[in-house]
Structure 1
Amino acid sequence: MPGEILDNQGRGEASWRWPAVHPEGRKFGLGVGVVCLVTAAIGWQWLAWPLALLTFCVLAFFRDPRRVTPQEDRFIVAPADGLVTLIQKVPPPRELTIDDGSGIRPLGTDPVTRVSIFMSVFDVHINRAPIGGTVRRVIYIPGKFLNADLDKASEENERQHILIERGDGLMVCFTQIAGLVARRIVPFVKPGDIVAGGQRIGLIRFGSRVDVYLPAGTEPKVLLGQRIVAGETVLAEVGQAALIEGVSQ
């Protein structure tokens, strides 16, 4: 994922820019926009104005802002924008703990820390790779469309597991979970692809959740209730498990 290098010593240039719209959303915006123009042309202003607002909302939902990703092997960055709603010790997804005959080393069954990030319809919905490495597995599982904020959504909702392995063998799994409104999970990667940390790897349409399973011995550097930014917020530091407390204010 080539891009401009910026650092904490002032190197590089930064300025605000209007976010691009991801190609996945342009067709939706174009479709609603065309209907808006047709209704305006025939004099149905009462319908054209709401459609104009809907066009703006659709394009805003699929916005794809640029992000600056910290380039440190010890960092695991957030794969999604949103609110940290759950931090729990749980076993890894069972689909990734079984040997599927592919030759890819399965995850262990011992509990690890799972960080759940809830994305509302107002959040950016482009998901990004938490680490750089090789995509080992992409497993889609059909299911329900329960409220993505519920704990059981991790086991019952439509979801997609993505497992990335770094060159040193470190594996990080994250799961894209559809919610009440989300009806499609769109991957940008497939097994065998090599990705950089912070690279765009998929999206979930219209409200959803992402679960990240941290490696053993690693605890998050984010707090319950904290808002985080995909590709930029350092979610965890490999091998670091110190308690961090915060105050809601």
Structure 2
Amino acid sequence: MFHKEGYKIIFISLVSFVAAIILIDEITASIPWLRMTLMLVVLFFFVMILQFFRNPKRTVALNENQIIAPVDGKVVVIEEVFEAEYFKDKRLQVSIFMSPINVHVTRYAMSGKINFSKYHPGKYLVAWHPKASTENERTTVVIENNTFGEILYRQIAGALAKRIVNYAQEGIQVIQGEDAGFIKFGSRVDLYLPLGTKVNVKLNEKAVGGKTIIAIKE
């Protein structure tokens, strides 16, 4: 199953793949080893496109007392920081870095009402750069429910990402685990939680979007 944001790119890639195979077959017909090598290279890139836009179906056990991972990737930051855009106070930041081979679907970390949703154009620094959160292309979304109050998540484009897709609209009600958007070709998502929230993951732990429990309310 593929994400709808990838349909156009997958179609273009398929056409390009077929055209490349035909061209390679004609040009290198007399050089079997080169013909096979080039075909394998073209096939490799096509498969990479397919796996990047995969959208695995995941059943989410809804729980108001849990914050779940919004994306697949590795936990790279767990620290107390000052969040300057919306809260303008200290929050607990948990960041998940996605490599190009991770699933790049963004899911809602909890159910609730969208209080804030804003897109920021910006640079394309590597996603782990300290200034990526404030200078890269990004979106900021705030969800509120009765258990955690407001939490903020930020989709951040990386060096390879050129487009962030965000489905969150202010005023709508969202459900934990549902599709919240997509980031194309490498990126990061930051979560900003209330101070005192019990974090349930460790640095360098692999997170699975819609499955891994990031934080709990005791």
- Would you call these one fold, judging by a TM-score over 0.5? yes
Q: How does 1:136-151 map to 2 (within 5 A)?
A: 136-151=115-130
Equivalent residues of 1:114, 1:213 under 8 A apart: yes
- Distance, in Å, in 2 between the alignment partners of 1:204 and 1:164 is 19
Correspondent of 2:142 among 163, 170, 175: 163
1:51 aligns with 2:32: no
Correspondent of 1:90 among 71, 78, 81: 81
Structure 2 counterpart of 1:189: 168
Structure 2 counterpart of 1:30: 11
SS of the equivalent of 1:29 reads helix
Going from structure 1 to structure 2, the CA distance change for 1:71 and 1:37 (only over 3 Å counts) comes to: same
One-letter code of the match for 1:58? I
| Residue-by-residue CA offset, 1:127-168 (whole Å, 9 max, x unaligned) | 100110111211111221111112221122111101111256
SS of the equivalent of 2:12 reads helix
Displacement, 1:65? 0.5
Q: How does 1:52-201 map to 2 (within 5 A)?
A: 52-92=43-83, 94-96=84-86, 107=87, 109-167=88-146, 170-201=149-180
What is the TM-score normalised by the length of structure 1? 0.78
Equivalent residues of 1:132, 1:166 under 8 A apart: yes
- Distance, in Å, in 2 between the alignment partners of 1:166 and 1:156 is 29
SS of the equivalent of 2:100 reads coil
Displacement, 1:77? 0.5
> Going by fraction, where is helix more abundant, 1 or 2?
2
| Residue-by-residue CA offset, 1:161-195 (whole Å, 9 max, x unaligned) | 01111256711110000111111111123212221
- Distance, in Å, in 2 between the alignment partners of 1:184 and 1:148 is 14
Gaps of 5+ in 1: 1-19, 97-106, 241-249
| Residue-by-residue CA offset, 1:62-96 (whole Å, 9 max, x unaligned) | 1000123232211011111100111111122x221
Equivalent residues of 1:135, 1:193 under 8 A apart: yes
**RMSD of Structure 2 on Structure 1 (CA):** 1.7
Indicate the larger mover: 33-42 or 153-162: 33-42
Structure 2 counterpart of 1:39: 20
Correspondent of 1:215 among 189, 194, 206: 194
- Distance, in Å, in 2 between the alignment partners of 1:53 and 1:169 is 44
Gaps of 5+ in 2: 29-34
Displacement, 1:49? 4.3
What is the TM-score normalised by the length of structure 2? 0.89
- Distance, in Å, in 1 between the alignment partners of 2:192 and 2:162 is 23
One-letter code of the match for 2:63? E
Aligned-pair identity in percent equals 37
Between 1 and 2, higher relative CO (CA 8 Å, sep ≥ 6) is seen in 2
Structure 1 counterpart of 2:31: none
| Residue-by-residue CA offset, 1:197-244 (whole Å, 9 max, x unaligned) | 011101111000000001232031100110001111110012x4xxxx
